[in-house]
Amino acid sequence: MLRGKELILSFVACVFIAASYGVVVLATHQTPAASSFYGHLVGIFGFLLMLMTETLYSLRKRSRSARWGRMVEWLQFHIFTGIVGPFMVLLHSSWKFNGLAGVTMLLTVVIVFSGFIGRYIYTRIPRTADGIEDPGLVGQMQASALANARRLLALWHTIHIPIGMALFVAAFVHMLGALYYVALLW
């Protein structure tokens, strides 16, 4: 298994998405507005990826009896969608960060940054090939480092999860507001 393949795939996907964004900019000679067809398209797909990031991995993690694939693969999926989705939402923003949409984008940046920190901490904990934590893989001297990594990961969860919840509340309010104003303008 290639370590960090989810990061490589995320980078490749972001390059392709950026290229499509560049094509739209070249064709229209302007930055796509968030309310344009392309702006909505990248915003909707980015949000759906972020929603999958938030829900699918968590559901799989809590369902130990489910046979939906190995946890390590679900974590890689979580990381992939957690990078590509926010990148698409950033493009949706049209580089304007005002009001609730700006707060939502700030929370998105914070949660992605936090995710990278969590990934780093997670890699400090020895695991089997299936991604299951295995204290037997560490020596006596490394046991305290393992305990510290577990404590850091627990602390990280207490910060990362509430920020994610705040992000999705802000995103849903943003979408409801956008739909409300679109309906008013019709």
Q: For residue range 152-166, what is the model confidence (pLDDT) as tens digits?
A: 888 988 998 899 899
Q: Are residues 80 and 106 in the same domain?
A: no
3-state secondary structure at position 17: helix
Range of the domain at 40: 1-96
Q: What mean pLDDT is predicted for residues 137-165?
A: 80
53 and 113 share one domain? no
Instruction: State the pLDDT confidence band at 139, using cuts at 50, 70 and 90.
Output: low
Which band of pLDDT confidence, cut at 50, 70 and 90, is reported for residue 83?
very high
Question: Over 60: is that where the pLDDT of 39 sits?
Answer: yes
* 92 and 8 assigned to the same domain: yes
Domain identity same for 103 and 160: yes
Choice between 125 and 51, residue whose per-residue pLDDT is larger = 51
Same domain, 41 and 68: yes
Strand partners, 133: 127
- Asked whether the CA dihedral 78, 83, 87, 93 is positive or negative, the reply is positive
Tally of structural domains, the chain: 2
- Single out the residue in 41, 72, 96 at which a domain terminates: 96
Go through 97-120 and write b for each residue having 16 or more CB atoms within 10 A of its CB, e for each that does not: eeeebebbbebbebbbebbeebbe
Cβ count near 41 (within 10 Å) = 16
**Domain co-membership, 110 together with 79:** no
pLDDT at 65 over 80: no
86 and 114 co-located in one domain: no
Q: What is the pLDDT of residue 75?
A: 82
**Is pLDDT above 50 for 129?**
no
Model confidence at 58, in pLDDT bands (50, 70, 90)?
A: confident
Same domain, yes or no, for 1 and 92? yes
Within the chain, residue ranges assigned H as helices are: 5-28, 37-62, 71-92, 99-123, 143-185
Q: Where does the pLDDT of residue 76 fall: very low under 50, low under 70, confident under 90, or very high at 90 and above?
A: confident
Say what the pLDDT of residue 24 is: 93
pLDDT tens profile 98-121: 888 888 888 988 998 998 888 888
